[in-house]
C-alpha cells in the first residue's frame, strides 16, 4: 500500500512541476514558471532526505517515507552536489526583469543558499560526523524517538524497518570516515574520548533498556486497536533489530574511534590543522554569520563587546553589595551560582519545580506582548527535560520546532543532568531565548508563512535564527520584564557576555590556535559559568566551527538595522511593525535582511 501511495505522490509531483522534477542540471527542461522551480528544488531535496521529511513532519511525505533513512554514501553526496550546482545554474537563468518583487526576494534568498552550499562543497569532509553532540549516533535515535510518529501498524513496521537499515547507514558513514582519515580530518582525542563514552554506554544497555525499545513500548501502548499479540511481535522484532543491526553498527564506529585514538588523534582543537584549514574556517564564518566579516574582525568585535558587557555587569554587582574589585567578575558569578537561594534541589522534585517555573515564565511573557508583536505563532510550546541518554554531551538548552503537520508542538528542552547547573536568575533569559519571543516565535511564524514558496518556511540561516533569539532577550529587557529584578538582569547580561565570549573563543580556537584549556579558562573567567557547563560549550565550538559566532553577530546586525530605521523614520518608527517585517519574511541572510529593512524604511518615508 505504501509503495502505491509513493508512486501516486511522485506522479502528481511530476505532473504539477512540468515533468522536470528529476532533471535539475539541464536548463532547457526547467519549469516555465519560476514558482514551480522554487517548489521543484525543495521537493527534490525532500524526496532524497527521508529523515528530514520525518523531522519536519511534512504532511503526506512523512507518512510515505518513514521506513527509509537518508543515504549518506559518497556516491549519493556527489549526486547531490551535482544537483545543487544544476539548481543554482537553472535559478540564475531566469530573467530577473520578468520577476515580481516577491519573486526577486525568493530568488535572492534561494540563490544565496545554493551559492553558499556550492562554495562549501570543497570542504564536504572537513567535519566530524560522529561527535558528542550532533553526531549521527545521537541524531538517529533522537529522530526515531521524537519525530517518527506511530499512529498505525504501518508506522510500527516502518520503525522496525528503519532500525534494520542502520547497518547500511553506518557502512556509508564508515566510507566517509575513511576518506577523512586519508585527509587527516581526525577529531581531537578528548572529543573521541567523550564520544566513545556515550557510544559504549548506549551499547552496554540490554536491548529492552535501550531508549529505542522503551520508546516503541510507549508508542505502542498509546496505539488503539492493536492486540497484545501484535504489540509483542513488534517489540520482539525491535529487540532483535537492536541486537543484530543497531549495536553492531555502533560497535563498528567504536572500534574505529579507538583505533584513531591510539594512532592518530592529538589534542589540537582547531580546524587550522585541517588541509586548507584557514580557508575552511573563513568559509564557515561566512556560512554561519551570513556576513563578510573575517575571523580577525570577529575576534576584535568579541574583545570589545566583552569589555562593554563586563562594565555593565560590574555596575549591577556593586549596586547589590558585591564591591570588592580585587576579585574577578567570574569569581562573583561563580559565588552567586552556588548560593542556595538561586538553586533548585538536585532531585526529581527539583527538576519538576524547574520545568514548572520555566513554563510560568513563558506563559507570563506570552500574555504581555501586546503592542510589541503583531505576528504571533499558532503553535504551542512545551518545556521538557533533555532525554537522559543524551544529556551528558548536550547543551544546557535547545529548541525543537513543531511538526509541520501539527502532530508535535514546539519544545523547549532544558538539560537537567545536574540541577546545580540551573541557576534561577538565568532562567528568564533562557526561556525568552529558546521559547517566547525567541526561537519559538521566529521558527513557528516562519513555518506558518503564507503565499511564499515552501523553502521559505523551513530554510535556516544561523545568524538570523540565533541572532533573533538573542535580540529577543534584549527586547524583553526593553519591555520591562526585568524590572525590579537586578539579578535577573545580571543573568541577561551574563547570557549576552556568554555570546560575546563565544566570538573570542571560537575564533581563538580555530583561527588563533588556542588550546581547549585556554578557551575554557577565558570563558570561566569572563562568564563565571560552572566549569562543567563551560567544558561542554567549548567542546561544542570545537566540533562546530563558526556556529557559535552567529548569535552575537546576528543580534548586532538586527540592532544595527533597527537603529537605522529609527534614525530614518523618527516618529514614524513603530516597533511592532519593525518586528513584523523582520519575522514576516522568515529566515534570511543578513545582507538580504538589510535590503528588506531598507525597502520598508523607504516605503514608510514616502507615506
Per-residue pLDDT at 395: 76
Q: Is the pLDDT of residue 582 over 70?
A: yes
Per-residue pLDDT at 28: 41
- Sign (positive or negative) of CA dihedral 87, 590, 376, 63: positive
Query: Looking at residues 159-172, what average pLDDT do you find?
Result: 98
Q: What angle do CA 456, 460, 466 make, to 5 degrees?
A: 130
pLDDT confidence bin for 9, thresholds 50/70/90: low
Residue burial 118-131, b: 16+ Cβ < 10 Å; e: rest = eeeeebebbbbbbb
Q: What is d(CA 379, CA 365) in angstroms, rounded to the nearest whole number?
A: 16
Per-residue pLDDT at 21: 40
Percent of the chain with pLDDT over 70: 95
> Which of 553, 562, 546 is CA-nearest to residue 589?
553
pLDDT confidence bin for 160, thresholds 50/70/90: very high
Any alpha helices (H) in 184-294, and if so which ranges? 189-204, 211-221, 228-241, 247-263, 277-289
Dump pLDDT digits (tens) for 347-377.
999 999 999 999 999 999 999 999 999 999 9
Per-residue pLDDT at 7: 54
Cell of 364: 507570563
Query: Looking at residues 187-194, what average pLDDT do you find?
Result: 98
CA dihedral 366, 367, 373, 379 (to 10 degrees): 50
Task: Compare 530 and 219 and report the one with higher pLDDT.
Answer: 219
Q: Is the pLDDT of residue 320 over 70?
A: yes
The distance of Cα 159 from the centroid of its chain, to the nearest Å, equals 24
Q: Is the pLDDT of residue 379 over 70?
A: yes
Longest dimension (CA), the chain: 74
pLDDT confidence bin for 17, thresholds 50/70/90: very low
Q: Is the pLDDT of residue 3 over 60?
A: no
Query: Looking at residues 422-447, what average pLDDT do you find?
Result: 96
The distance of Cα 20 from the centroid of its chain, to the nearest Å, equals 32
Spatial CB neighbours of 572, under 8 Å, sequence gap ≥ 6? 604, 605, 607
Per-residue pLDDT at 20: 41
Q: What angle do CA 446, 449, 454 make, to 5 degrees?
A: 90
Per-residue pLDDT at 575: 98
pLDDT confidence bin for 12, thresholds 50/70/90: very low
Q: Is the pLDDT of residue 291 over 50?
A: yes
Q: What is d(CA 528, CA 328) in angstroms, rounded to the nearest whole number?
A: 9
Residues in the chain: 607
pLDDT confidence bin for 16, thresholds 50/70/90: very low
Q: What is d(CA 81, CA 114) in angstroms, rounded to the nearest whole number?
A: 10
Spatial CB neighbours of 34, under 8 Å, sequence gap ≥ 6? 94, 99, 103, 106, 107
Per-residue pLDDT at 599: 97
Helix (H) or strand (E) holding 584: none
Question: Torsion-angle region of residue 343: left (phi > 0), alpha (psi -120 to 50) or beta?
Answer: beta
Dump pLDDT digits (tens) for 53-81.
998 888 777 778 899 999 999 999 999 99
Dump pLDDT digits (tens) for 402-425.
887 788 899 999 999 999 989 999
Would the pTM count as exceeding 0.85? yes
Q: How many helices (H) and strands (E) does the chain have?
A: 27, 3
- Sign (positive or negative) of CA dihedral 137, 138, 144, 145: positive
Q: Is the pLDDT of residue 597 over 70?
A: yes
> Which of 409, 548, 586 is CA-nearest to residue 470?
548
Per-residue pLDDT at 438: 98
Dump pLDDT digits (tens) for 570-580.
999 999 999 99
Dump pLDDT digits (tens) for 92-114.
999 999 999 999 999 999 999 99
Map residue 400 onto helix, strand or coil.
Answer: strand
Per-residue pLDDT at 382: 95
CB 511 within 8 A of CB 278: yes
Per-residue pLDDT at 18: 42
Q: Is the pLDDT of residue 394 over 90?
A: no
Q: Are strands 381-385 and 397-400 parallel, antiparallel or unpaired?
A: unpaired
Average pLDDT over the chain, rounded to whole? Answer: 93
Q: What is d(CA 487, CA 429) in angstroms, rounded to the nearest whole number?
A: 11
Q: Which of 159-163, 224-228, 409-413, 471-475 is the least confident region?
A: 224-228
Q: Is the pLDDT of residue 393 over 80?
A: no
> Which of 466, 486, 468, 465 is CA-nearest to residue 477?
486
Amino acid at each position: 500500500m505504501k509503495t502505491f501511495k509513493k508512486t501516486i505522490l511522485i506522479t502528481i509531483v511530476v505532473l504539477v512541476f512540468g515533468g522536470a522534477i528529476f532533471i535539475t542540471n539541464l536548463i532547457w527542461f526547467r519549469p516555465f514558471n519560476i514558482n514551480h522551480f522554487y517548489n521543484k528544488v525543495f521537493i527534490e531535496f525532500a524526496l532524497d532526505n527521508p529523515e528530514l521529511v520525518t523531522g519536519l513532519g511534512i504532511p503526506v511525505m512523512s507518512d510515505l517515507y518513514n521506513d527509509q533513512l537518508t543515504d549518506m554514501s559518497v556516491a549519493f553526496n556527489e549526486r547531490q552536489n551535482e544537483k545543487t550546482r544544476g539548481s543554482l545554474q537553472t535559478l540564475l537563468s531566469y530573467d530577473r526583469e520578468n520577476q515580481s518583487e516577491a519573486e526577486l526576494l525568493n530568488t535572492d534568498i534561494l540563490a544565496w543558499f545554493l551559492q553558499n552550499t556550492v562554495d562549501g562543497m570543497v570542504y564536504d569532509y572537513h567535519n566530524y560526523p560522529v561527535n558528542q553532540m550532533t553526531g549521527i549516533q545521537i541524531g538517529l535515535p533522537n529522530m526515531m524517538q521524537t519525530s517518527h510518529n506511530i499512529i498505525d501498524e504501518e508506522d510500527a513496521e516502518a520503525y522496525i524497518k528503519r532500525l534494520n537499515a542502520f547497518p547500511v547507514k553506518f557502512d556509508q558513514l564508515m566510507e566517509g570516515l575513511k576518506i577523512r582519515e586519508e585527509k587527516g580530518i581526525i577529531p581531537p582525542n578528548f572529543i573521541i574520548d567523550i564520544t566513545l563514552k556515550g557510544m559504549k554506554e548506549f551499547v552496554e544497555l540490554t536491548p529492552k533498556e535501550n531508549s529505542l525499545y522503551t520508546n516503541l513500548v510507549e508508542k505502542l501502548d498509546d496505539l488503539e486497536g492493536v492486540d497484545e499479540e501484535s504489540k509483542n511481535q513488534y517489540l520482539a522484532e525491535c529487540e532483535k533489530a537492536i541486537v543484530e543491526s543497531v549495536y553492531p553498527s555502533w560497535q563498528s564506529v567504536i572500534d574505529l574511534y579507538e583505533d584513531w585514538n591510539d594512532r592518530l588523534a592529538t589534542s589540537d582543537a582547531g580546524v587550522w590543522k585541517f588541509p586548507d584549514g584557514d580557508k575552511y574556517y573563513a568559509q564557515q564564518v561566512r556560512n554561519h554569520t551570513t556576513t563578510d566579516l573575517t575571523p580577525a574582525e570577529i575576534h576584535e568585535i568579541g574583545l570589545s563587546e566583552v569589555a562593554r558587557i563586563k562594565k555593565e555587569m560590574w555596575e549591577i554587582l556593586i549596586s547589590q553589595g558585591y564591591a570588592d574589585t580585587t576579585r574577578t567578575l567570574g569569581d562573583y558569578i561563580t559565588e552567586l551560582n552556588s548560593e542556595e537561594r538561586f538553586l533548585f534541589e538536585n532531585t526529581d522534585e527539583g527538576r519538576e519545580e524547574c520545568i514548572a517555573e520555566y513554563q510560568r515564565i513563558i506563559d507570563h511573557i506570552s500574555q504581555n506582548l501586546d503592542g510589541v508583536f503583531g505576528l504571533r505563532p499558532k503553535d504551542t510550546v512545551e518545556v521538557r527535560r533533555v532525554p537522559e541518554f543524551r544529556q551528558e554531551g548536550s547543551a544546557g538548552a535547545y529548541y525543537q520546532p513543531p511538526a509541520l503537520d501539527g502532530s508535535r508542538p514546539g519544545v523547549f528542552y532544558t538539560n537537567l543532568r545536574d540541577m546545580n547547573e540551573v541557576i534561577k536568575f538565568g532562567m528568564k533569559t533562557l526561556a525568552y531565548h529558546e521559547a517566547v519571543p525567541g526561537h519559538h516565535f521566529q521558527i513557528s511564524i516562519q513555518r506558518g508563512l503564507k503565499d511564499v514558496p515552501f523553502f521559505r518556511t523551513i530554510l535556516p540561516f544561523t545568524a538570523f535564527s540565533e541572532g533573533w533569539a538573542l535580540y529577543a532577550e534584549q527586547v524583553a529587557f526593553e519591555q520591562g520584564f526585568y524590572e525590579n529584578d537586578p539579578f535577573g538582569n545580571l543573568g541577561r547580561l551574563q547570557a549576552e557576555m556568554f555570546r560575546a565570549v563565544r566570538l573570542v573563543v571560537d575564533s581563538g580556537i580555530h583561527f588563533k590556535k588556542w588550546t581547549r584549556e585556554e578557551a575554557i579558562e577565558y570563558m570561566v573567567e569572563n562568564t563565571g559559568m560552572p566549569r562543567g557547563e563551560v567544558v561542554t560549550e567549548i567542546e561544542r565550538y570545537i566540533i562546530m566551527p563558526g556556529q557559535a559566532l552567529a548569535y552575537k553577530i546576528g543580534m548586532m546586525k538586527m540592532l544595527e538595522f533597527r537603529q537605522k530605521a529609527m534614525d530614518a523614520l523618527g516618529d514614524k518608527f513603530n516597533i511592532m511593525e519593525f518586528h513584523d517585517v523582520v519575522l514576516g519574511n522568515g529566515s534570511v541572510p543578513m545582507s538580504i535582511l538589510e535590503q528588506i529593512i531598507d525597502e520598508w524604511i523607504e516605503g514608510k518615508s514616502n507615506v
